[in-house]
Structure 1
C-alpha cells in the first residue's frame, strides 16, 4: 500500500496480476466491427458476419449441454437448492472441483495462488475499515479473477482523512470466491465486479469489519476526558473533608460506571456501523451467487469461444501469408483489437486454434490457411445438424482427467 494511505490504494508490489485473456467486447459488437472492417478484410468483411452466425449456433449447442452437466454436478452442493432429494445425493466433490476449475479457465478467469491471496489480504482494508477473517472456519477457499484495470477513486488518506483525495486504484473487473466452511458439504460461489485489490479480504467467508484507529480515538477519547474530569472533581471534594464530599464521591463513582458503560456501547455501535458500511458497499458489487454464477460463466464461455475463434479465423483468412505461427497470430489479433477498440489483452491463441481444429475450418492446417467463408459456413452447418461437438466440454474434461 502506498505510504500515507489508510483506504483503498494502488496494488501492492507483492501482488502479481494475472495476464488478461478476456476480450472486453460484446459478441455482437465484434461481429459488426469485423463486417465493417473493409480496410483490413476487403471483400471478406461482410461475409465474416455469416461465419459468426454459424458459429453462434454451434457454441449455443455446446453451452447448453455443458450447462446441464454442471447443474447435475453442483446440485448436491448447492446452498440454494429448493428441490427434494431423490436417491443418492452424496455427490462427487472431486468431480465438481474439476468442473469448476475448467469452467473458470474456459471463461478466461485465472486462479490466484495462495501467496497472491495472502499478499493481498495482508494489505487489505475496505474504505478505511480493517477486515479480519477467521481462517480456521474455512475448509476450502479459491479466488478466481478476470480482467484488470485502473480507476480514479476518492480515497481517505492520513493527510485528508475526511474529504479524501483522488487516487489511481487497481481493480479486478470480475472476482469470484469459491469456498466451503468447516463441517459443511455446501459449496458457495460468489461473483463480484470492480473490486479493488486492496479490498480482497472483505469478500472472504467469515470476514468481520473492525474499527479504524479514528473510531477508537473518538470513543476512548470522549470516555477518558469525561472520566478524567469527574475524577478531578472527586479528588477535590475528598480533600475538603466535608460530609458533602462523601455523598458526592458515591454519586461520582456511579457516574464513572455509567461513562464506562457508555464507552463500551459506543464501541459496539461504531463496530456495527462499520459492518453495515461493509455490507452496503459489497451489496452493489455482487453480481450473482451459487448456481447463478455458473449460468453466467457458461454464457461467458460461449461468448469467449465465439470471439476467439472468429478473430483467429478472420485474421488468418485476411493475412495468412504474413502469419506463420501461433505467436504471430496472437500478435495480429491483439494489434487489431487495440487499434479497433483501444484495449489491450493477452489473446488466448491456444483456445482459438483448438476451436478451428475441432470445427474443421482449415483448408490447409500446415500453412494455417482456413476455409473461405462459404465452405466454412457449410461445415459449421453440418456440425450443428449432426451435433458433432455438442459433448465437447464433457470430452475435454474427461481428457484432462
Structure 2
C-alpha cells in the first residue's frame, strides 16, 4: 500500500540511517554512524530541556498530580502551556485540525454507526492535532450481518486533543471533572468519528435506530390494544370517567371484570417495560461499541502524552537533519533548497513508496544552527570528519554555552 502521510516521515531514525547506507555506502560508514549518533545526542539534550519546561508548565494543570506544592514556593506559570504544546506538536510534524475540517468531520457518517453530539460551550480552550492522514478501506456489516460492504474513509494515525473545561461544564457522568484540563493521545482514528474523543460526547440514536425500535413497538401496541389490553383500557376509561364526573352511567365492577382489568393493566405495563428495555439494551450496545473503540485507540493521557510527543519530535528533527545533511554530503555539486527538497522527496517516493512533504526549511535551519551547512542560494555540507568534530565540540561545551538549539 502506498504511504501518504504529509510531513511525517514514517520510518525510525535508525532505519533512515540504514536506508541511506543501503542507497550508497560512504567511504567510512563507521564515521557516518558516529556522526548520526552524536547528532542524536545533541537533539536529545535539547529536548530534555523542553520536557522539563513542559512538566513545569503543566504541573498546576495536571489532574493526575500526586505531589504537593510547598507553601511559599511559587510554581511555574501555566499560562504558556498551550503555546509550548503547539510548538512541540509542530516539531513532531502534527497538523492542527481547523474548525472547518472539524465541522466537515462532524458532518460525515460515522463508521461505527453512532450518532454523537459534542457541546463546545463546555470548553474554555480546545486544541486538536493529527498526524498521518490516509485513505483506508474496511468491510462493514449491514442488515444485522446479512450483508457486508467495503467502505473507504479518511483515517488518522495519531490524534492529540487538549481541552480545558469550564467550571460550569455539563459532564453528566463525571461532574467532579469540571474545570480541569485533559490531554489525550489516540491512534487509528477515523476522521468521521473524531467526536468520540471529546470528554463530553453524548450518544444519540440515528433515525434508522429509532425506526428499528419504534416501528415494531407501534405495530405490537396496535395488536395489543385491539386484543387483550383494548377491552381492559375501555373499562378503565369508563371507570375513570365515572369517578371524575364525566359520565353519569355507573360501571359495574364484578370479580371477573376486576380480574380482567388487572390483567389488562399488567399487560400494558409489561408491554411498556419491554419496549423500554429494548431501547436501553440497544443504547447499551452502542455505548459498549464506543467504549471498546476508545479503549483500543487510547495511547496515553495527560502528562504521559507530552513525554511521548517529546520523543516523537526528537525523532522527527533527527530524521530531517540526517536526510538533508546526507543528500548534501553526497551531491557532487552544490544544491539549491528546492533541488535538495525534491531529491529527498523523490528518493523516498521511488525507493520506499512513501510520499511526503519534506520539511526542508526546518531541516536546513537545524543544520545551519549546528554549523553543518553553509551557503544561501546554493548549499554545501561540512565534510564528515569536520562535522563530527563540530558536533563533538558543541557537546563538550554544552554546560558553558547558553545559546542552545
- Considering the TM-score relative to the shorter chain, is it more than 0.5? yes
| Aligned residue in 1 for 2:107 | 122
Cα distance in 2 between the residues matched to 1:169 and 1:245: 62
2:369 is aligned with 1:358: yes
| Aligned residue in 1 for 2:180 | 186
Q: Which runs of structure 2 are paired with 1:95-110 in the superposition (5 Å)?
A: 95-110=80-95
Q: CA 1:351 to 1:48, structure 2 compared with 1: closer, same or farther past 3 Å?
A: same
Cα distance in 1 between the residues matched to 2:161 and 2:58: 16
What's the offset of the Cα at 1:117? 1.0
| Aligned residue in 2 for 1:14 | none
Q: What's the secondary structure of 1:166's corresponding residue?
A: strand
Which residue, 75, 82, 100 being the options, matches 2:59?
A: 75
Cα distance in 1 between the residues matched to 2:184 and 2:148: 30
What's the offset of the Cα at 1:181? 0.9
Q: CA 1:310 to 1:384, structure 2 compared with 1: closer, same or farther past 3 Å?
A: same
Q: Which runs of structure 2 are paired with 1:296-375 in the superposition (5 Å)?
A: 296-319=308-331, 321=333, 323-324=335-336, 326-362=337-373, 364=375, 367-375=378-386
Cα distance in 1 between the residues matched to 2:21 and 2:112: 45
Which residue, 16, 31, 34 being the options, matches 1:30?
A: 16
Q: CA 1:161 to 1:92, structure 2 compared with 1: closer, same or farther past 3 Å?
A: farther
2:140 is aligned with 1:155: yes
Cα distance in 2 between the residues matched to 1:185 and 1:103: 24
What's the offset of the Cα at 1:142? 1.4
Kindly indicate whether the alpha-carbon contact (under 8 Å) linking 2:335 and 2:378 is maintained by their aligned counterparts in 1: no
| Aligned residue in 2 for 1:54 | 38
Cα distance in 2 between the residues matched to 1:19 and 1:31: 20
Cα distance in 1 between the residues matched to 2:339 and 2:354: 19
Q: Which runs of structure 2 are paired with 1:125-274 in the superposition (5 Å)?
A: 125-156=110-141, 162-183=146-167, 184-233=178-227, 234-235=229-230, 247-274=259-286
Kindly indicate whether the alpha-carbon contact (under 8 Å) linking 2:335 and 2:380 is maintained by their aligned counterparts in 1: no
Cα distance in 1 between the residues matched to 2:12 and 2:396: 26
Cα distance in 2 between the residues matched to 1:192 and 1:350: 29
Instruction: Point out where structure 1 has 5 or more consecutive residues left out of the alignment.
Output: 1-17, 394-401
The structure richer in helix per residue is: 1
Cα distance in 2 between the residues matched to 1:68 and 1:334: 34
Q: CA 1:266 to 1:157, structure 2 compared with 1: closer, same or farther past 3 Å?
A: closer
Cα distance in 1 between the residues matched to 2:66 and 2:185: 21
Kindly indicate whether the alpha-carbon contact (under 8 Å) linking 2:57 and 2:81 is maintained by their aligned counterparts in 1: yes
| Aligned residue in 2 for 1:12 | none
| Aligned residue in 2 for 1:278 | 290
| Aligned residue in 2 for 1:4 | none
**TM-score (norm: length of structure 2):** 0.83
| Aligned residue in 2 for 1:21 | 7
Q: What's the secondary structure of 2:6's corresponding residue?
A: coil
Kindly indicate whether the alpha-carbon contact (under 8 Å) linking 1:330 and 1:347 is maintained by their aligned counterparts in 2: yes
Instruction: Point out where structure 2 has 5 or more consecutive residues left out of the alignment.
Output: 168-177, 236-250
Q: CA 1:265 to 1:23, structure 2 compared with 1: closer, same or farther past 3 Å?
A: same
Larger Rg: 2
